[in-house]
Every structure is written in C-alpha cells, then in structure tokens.
Amino acid sequence: MVPYWLFQLQLFPWLPFLVYQAKKVRKSSPKLPAQSPILTLGQGEKHVVLLGESTVAGVGASSTSTTLAGHFFRIFGKSYQIEAIGKKGLRVKEAFSLYFKHNKSESKKSEGVLLFLGANDCFLLTSPQVFKKELESLIQQIQKSTNAEWIYLAAIPPVHLFPAFSEQMRSFLYKQRYYLMRKMEEIAESKPQVIFHQIPMDLQPEFFSADGIHPSDLGYQKIAELAIEKMKIYLS
C-alpha cells in the first residue's frame, strides 16, 4: 500500500463525487432504529462493558435480544451483567465522553471491555496517526476507569463490502480501513491486555440488514459468536 499522504492526494479529486454519493446513500437507505444505545442486561456479579458505534447501539437489529448486547448476554450467561453504551456515528475521540456520561457502574470493577469502533473514522477519513493517538488514549482511560483485565478491540467493520456503497466508495474505504487497521494492530502488539480481532471477509448477503450497511439479527449473532471464540482463553 502507498504512503498515506499519497493516498490523500489520490483521493482529493474524487472528494466532491464521493460526498455526493454518500449523501445519496444516506437519503435512499431505510432509517433503522437503534435497539440498544443504552442498555444493561443481567444482574450477575461479573461486569462487562460494551462500548462503540452503531453496532453497539443495535442499529439493524429487530429487538434488544438480537443486538450485540443481547447475544453477549445470552452467551456469557447469568453470572454476568452486560452494560452496552453505543451511539450511531460515534468516533474514537468521542467514545470515552459517551462512556463517562452514561456509565451506571462507577464503583464496579469490570471483567473486561469490548470496543466496536472505527467505521465512522473511516467514513470521515481520520488520519492514521490521529486515530492511533485517540485510540491509545481511549484504551488508557477506559482501563483506568473500569480496571478491566482485558480489552477486546474488534476490527473495523468491512466498510468496503457494504452493499449500499458504490464501487468507487468501496475502493477508497478499503484503503482507508487498511491504514487504520494497521494502527490497531500496532496498539495490540504493544499492549498484552488488548485482544485485537480480525473479521472474516466472506460475508453473505443475509449478514446485512435492510439498509445494506448495518448487521442483521444473524449478523449480530455471528459477530458475537466470533468474538467469544477469540476470547475463550480470557474467560476460562
């Protein structure tokens, strides 16, 4: 992949067209409700925080039970309490403020934190250097606040595969995602408590909801199951 500054030069002439396409997608896509923007499930002694963008907010799910939080609660079991804090359009730099605003368990130690972020930083072309700095700051702040033993860092959603997007948008999003993902990998390599998890790219149409962007009920189920498979060693 070319240096990021060269990617920016290649992108610049296309920006007006890409902005037009993005607005067109936003206007034509179904407006799906968020099922779990702020949601606490269970009363177990073990506490887990789920923090992130629209995937955590449950956009595309049909009910709270089929959101990420719902699936994690089902998989973790009754000995756990799942606290989900999500917001559509959330960027990494805004995540801790959102957590601090809505956190209901200030005095409770968390077993772990699950972070689902990065898609909006892709869409808004956050530079890799800024993204890494903001993500490192978030991890440091959230770990200090929760005293979590582990932090699960999900890979950025495969924005370049979203059916709602045009071929041109997918091409540039693929490259932007690559640069940001490399920074995620660097952070995980330097922090043993961070579990970085890639996402398989063989996604079927039924993985997506009606808007062609957010996961369906099945998509959320698959994401949760893949995450648990990756985290088994930390949960034993």
Using the predicted structure, report yes or no on whether residue 233 has a pLDDT greater than 60. Answer: yes
Beta strands in the chain (DSSP E): 38-41, 46-52, 80-86, 112-116, 150-154, 194-197
Question: Six-digit token pair at 58?
Answer: 């449950």
**What single-letter amino acid sits at 151?**
I
Closest CA to 99 of 154, 150, 53: 53
Residue 234's pLDDT is 67
The whole-chain average pLDDT of the chain stands at 91
SS3 113: strand
Domain boundaries, the chain: 4-235
What is the enclosing helix (H) or strand (E) of 131? helix 128-146
Q: Which two tokens stand for residue 235?
A: 């949960």
CB atoms within 10 A of CB 34: 19
Closest to 220 (Cα-Cα) out of 89, 50, 92: 50
In CATH terms, the superfamily for domain 4-235 is: SGNH hydrolase (3.40.50.1110)
What is the rounded average pLDDT of the residues 29-55? 94
HSE-up (13 A, CA, CB side) for residue 67: 28
Distances in Å between the alpha carbon of 23 and those of 20, 53, 87, 133, 206?
5, 20, 20, 29, 25
What is the rounded distance in angstroms from the CA atom of residue 142 to the CA atom of residue 155? 18
> CA torsion, points 94, 99, 100, 103, in degrees to nearest 10?
170
CA distance 51 to 30: 24
Query: Residue 185: what pLDDT?
Result: 96
Calculate the alpha carbon distances from 111 to 1, 33, 57 in Å.
38, 29, 21
How many CB atoms lie under 10 A from the CB of residue 231?
16
pTM of the prediction?
0.94
pLDDT at 23: 84
pLDDT in tens, 47-105: 999 999 999 999 999 999 999 999 999 999 999 999 999 999 999 999 999 999 988 66
Alpha helices (runs of H) in 15-66, residue ranges in sequence order: 15-28, 54-57
| 104-150 residue pLDDT tens | 666 578 999 999 999 999 999 999 999 999 999 999 999 999 999 99
In the chain the first and final C-alpha atoms are separated, in Å, by 39
**168-216: pLDDT as tens digits:** 999 999 999 999 999 999 999 999 999 998 876 667 888 899 999 999 9
Q: What is the mean pLDDT of residues 36-46?
A: 94
